[in-house]
Amino acid sequence: MKLALKILMALLYIAAGINHFVNPDFYLNIMPPYIPAHGFMVALSGVAEIVLGVALLVPATQSLAAWGIIAMLLAFMPVHVHMLLHAGDLYANVPYAALVIRFPLQALLILWAWWYTLPVRALG
């Protein structure tokens, strides 16, 4: 089951990364104004998601990729906070509950990634 969930996680990050290039306007729209070079940052985060998703599938880089995913999810927090703080004016089309639920969801995604930082136990 852990392998299947790892493959699912990797595919989700790879797909999300590709989506940064297919639908960049979505990501540009949610960038806080205090983050510079929006286009570059959207592309960089897309590349990071793709690279980390692929690296998660390689046993030799799995742990490093999982720590990278955790760092990336933490780096995305300012975007989530920005969206929540500006829900009524900039993101009125997004349900408020969806903006709030992202925080516990981020915590679950971090825990899920953390699972892949743990050493594999030898089967007795």
Q: How much is the pLDDT for 124?
A: 42
pLDDT reading at 115 higher than 60: yes
Cα–Cα distance measured from residue 58 to residue 52, given in angstroms and rounded to the nearest whole number: 10
Rg of the chain, C-alpha, whole Å = 16
Mean pLDDT of 80-106: 93
Q: How much is the pLDDT for 37?
A: 97
Cα–Cα distance measured from residue 48 to residue 54, given in angstroms and rounded to the nearest whole number: 10
Mean pLDDT of 85-104: 92
What are the tens digits of pLDDT across the range 32-51?
Answer: 999 999 999 999 999 999 99
List the domain boundaries for the chain. Answer: 2-115
The rounded mean pLDDT for the chain is: 94
pLDDT reading at 11 higher than 90: yes
CA separation, residue 15 to residues 21, 46, 88 (Å) = 10, 9, 29
DSSP 63-76: HHHHHHHHHHHHHT
Contact by Cβ (8 Å): 80, 106: yes
Q: How much is the pLDDT for 30?
A: 92
Q: How much is the pLDDT for 111?
A: 97
Instruction: Give 119's pLDDT tier (boundaries 50, 70, 90).
Output: confident
